């Protein structure tokens, strides 16, 4: 991560210098910093709403129920999480929200999953294996109802706005398979390296 961050910054500065337009560096940096706060503050409403709903679901035992149903499937992917741990429920809620295209709900569910996994990780600054697997699934996860892009297609006058759902599902299945496989391979590689 450090190397990539450095690459973005120095690469950008270097190219701006070569082009003789260093003002762009300052502009880009300030724009990005402002946007970061906007994004974070913009998240508060949706986060609070979904975390509130989730607390009700948790106290009603729904999260446990969901976790129990998904246990046989999740336990293979997350061998380091104890089978009765709430993290499994949060992971499943997050992935379901992703599949249903509920972006605003997926993020708070994911946060809870990360918090639960971070407790198992004993609050270290380094990601645990379970976190890596979770994020591999998360970033390659399919959305069955890609509502945003469908509405863009409708607005652009498409004759068949949903025709892209088929290839989207197939392509994402390939992507997800590769991500999960790579996660398993990299996990054992890092273990052998002692990382």
Residues 63-92 that bind another protein (CB under 8 A): none
Q: Which stretch binds another protein (CB under 8 A): 2-10, 69-77, 79-87?
A: 2-10
Q: Which two tokens stand for residue 166?
A: 């088929």
Is 28 or 68 the residue whose CB approaches another protein more closely? 28
Which residues within the stretch 13-72 sit at the binding site for another protein (CB under 8 A)?
13-16, 19, 21, 24-25, 27-33, 35-37, 39-41, 43-45, 47-49, 51-62
Q: From 69-77, 82-90, 112-120, give the range in contact with another protein by CB under 8 A.
A: 112-120
Identify the H or E element spanning 68: helix 62-77
Choose between 74 and 142: whose C-beta lies nearer to another protein.
Answer: 142
Give me the least distance between CB of 194 and another protein, in Å please.
13
Span near another protein by CB under 8 A; candidates 72-80, 84-92, 110-118: 110-118
Burial 94-115 (b: 16+ CB within 10 A, else e): bbbbbeebbeebbbbbbbbbbe
CA distance 186 to 194: 12
Rule CB under 8 A: is residue 120 a binding residue for another protein? Answer: no
The Cα–Cα gap between 91 and 130 comes to 10
Contact with another protein (CB under 8 A) among 70, 77, 120, 135: 135
Q: Which is nearer to another protein, 36 or 75 (CB)?
A: 36
Token pair belonging to 66: 């969901």
* Number of residues forming the site for another protein (CB under 8 A): 111
130 near 85, Cβ under 8 Å?
A: no
Q: Is the dihedral of CA 91, 96, 99, 101 positive or negative?
A: negative
Which residue lies nearer to another protein by CB, 75 or 154? 154
Exposed / middle / buried, residue 170 (Cβ in 10 Å: 0-12, 13-18, 19+): exposed
Structure tokens at 189: 């590689």
Which of 76, 122, 159, 194 forms a contact with another protein (CB under 8 A)? 159
Nearest-approach distance from CB 48 to another protein, in angstroms? 3
């Amino acid at each position: 991560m450090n190397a990539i961050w450095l690459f973005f910054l120095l690469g950008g500065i270097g190219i701006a210098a070569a082009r003789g337009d260093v003002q762009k560096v300052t502009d880009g940096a300030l724009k990005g910093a402002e946007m970061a706060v906007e994004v974070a503050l913009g998240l508060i409403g949706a986060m609070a709403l979904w975390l509130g709903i989730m607390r009700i679901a948790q106290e009603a035992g729904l999260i446990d129920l969901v976790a129990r149903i998904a246990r046989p499937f999740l336990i293979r992917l997350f061998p380091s999480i104890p089978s009765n741990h709430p993290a499994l429920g949060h992971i499943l809620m997050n992935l379901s929200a992703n599949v249903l295209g509920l972006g605003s709900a997926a993020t708070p569910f994911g946060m809870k999953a990360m918090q639960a996994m971070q407790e198992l990780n004993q609050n270290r600054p380094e990601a645990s294996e379970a976190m890596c697997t979770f994020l591999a699934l998360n970033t390659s996860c399919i959305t069955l109802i890609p509502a945003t892009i469908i509405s863009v297609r409708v607005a652009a006058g498409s004759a068949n706005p949903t025709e892209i759902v088929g290839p989207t599902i197939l392509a994402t299945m390939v992507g997800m398979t590769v991500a999960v496989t790579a996660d398993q391979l990299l996990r054992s590689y890092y273990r052998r390296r002692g990382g």
